[in-house]
Amino acid sequence: MKEIIENIYKFIDNKFYFKLLYLFVSLIFVTILKDVPGLINLKDLALAWGIILILLMIIQDYKKRKIYKFDIPLALFMGITLIFTIFVYKNSDDIKMWIFNLILFMGIFTIDVFRNKKALIKEMNIITHFYVIFMFFASIASLVLRFSGEAIQIGQIAFGGTKGIFENENALSIASSIAIVMCIYLYNVSNSHKIKIFWMLNIILQVVTMIGSHGRSAYLLVVAVLYTFIFVYNKNKYLRRILTTVPFILAILIGLACYNNSNERVRDFTSGRTSLWTSASIVIKEHPLTGVGKGQFLESVRNARETDDLPGLEAGGLHDIYIQTATLNGGVSLLLLLSFFGMILTFIMKRLDNLIRKEKLQMSTLTAMVIGILAVNLFESTLIYVVSFISMIFWIYLGYLISILDNKNIE
């Protein structure tokens, strides 16, 4: 009996299985699979498992976790948002959102530098294979629906056309762009010529799917991948300083886009996002420190100014995770989150500079994917707060990158 209990405990405490489950659940949420009877209930299992993992981390597993400087702003982010949730927002939706973020940061974003490096890479590769194989079949199904002109009507949603078996075009295009980067990584780690051909064919398939879906956000990921490789492989400090200013330039451009919201060309280019950002900027000015919380979010943005032009607000939020963070939890929370991203990416870049040849190419590819997801979230709100395959992939791979690049296991 004792042995059975120990085996159950080991399984529950195995975050690898938990990550696989949650990634699958996040893919169910955004595809036709959510209408398969019973599958959607897996989200409750994943949530319960995540809460158990948090308790195990608090009781025992925290001893295995090395503490880094970049953990400080993330811990402060969670601390401040907890204070705001209890004393300012006082809403059950905000409590649920905070708990999900805690699961994300403690159950999905896991760092274990004392584990065997090969075991970590093996786990990461299994997750990578799972995702790209899923996208291989998802892309084929989506392309069949598109080119056949057929549609599958389930409830009020018609699957087909440019969105395929996904709920919307953007989700399909981003999913395909992520699969492209993963296939490039798998191509570089594979030693079999036949398998390399398969990954190359899958890359072509995903490129066709991405372009055919007409989702613009995915191109931000492609550009960010090129940006990352230029940064990593060019050690000229002056060029790197110039490249470091790019995120700030993008932030200024988004600010100008909000200011010029009346310009129809700008509005159409961003698919109406500038209208969302303009309303959000008013909310942020009124609540700069605490934000308005999840419970008052929709009402506050709608009432910020007289307009009916708030496309996708209910389903996709503000379509910019950085503006969304400031709106929900205030400017201080946003600065803490940005500090975390800046510190952890600086840490990763320093470790990449010490690598050579094949290992450097492989880790740089995955780093490029992570940075690409940060770029995508300039036009999406899927990095924190919600169950999304984009957030799952970001935090899963961020944890593995740190665990592998800073591995202390001497076996």
CB-based contact 281:306 (threshold 8 Å) = no
Identify the pLDDT of residue 110.
Answer: 94
Q: What is the pTM of this model?
A: 0.95
Burial 190-205 (b: 16+ CB within 10 A, else e): eeeeeeeebbeebbeb
Q: What is the DSSP letter of 32?
A: G
- Mean pLDDT taken over the chain: 91
Residue with tokens 């659940």: 25
Q: Which of 65, 166, 135 is nearest to 106 (CA)?
A: 65
CA 119 to chain centre: 24
Band (pLDDT 50/70/90 cuts) for residue 46 is very high
Residue with the larger pLDDT of the pair 309 and 91: 91
- Average confidence (pLDDT) over 193-216: 94
Please list, residue by residue across 229-263, b when 16 or more beta carbons sit within 10 angstroms of its beta carbon and e when fewer do: eebbeeeeeeeeeeeeeebeeeeeebeebbeebee
Query: What digits encode the pLDDT tens for the residues 107-124?
Result: 999 999 999 999 999 999
Residues 153-198 have pLDDT tens digits of 887 788 999 999 999 999 999 999 999 999 999 999 999 999 999 9
Residue 293: the pLDDT is 96
CA dihedral sign, ordered 313, 315, 321, 326: positive
Closest residue by Cα to residue 374 from 405, 342, 352: 342
410 confidence band (pLDDT: 50, 70, 90): low
For range 94-105, the mean pLDDT:
96
The rounded distance, in Å, linking the Cα atoms of 48 and 43 is 9
The residue ranges of every structural domain in the chain are 2-246+323-405
**Torsion sign across C-alpha atoms 263, 266, 269, 274:** negative
Give me the amino acid identity at 253.
L
Q: Averaged over 202-230, what is the pLDDT? A: 93
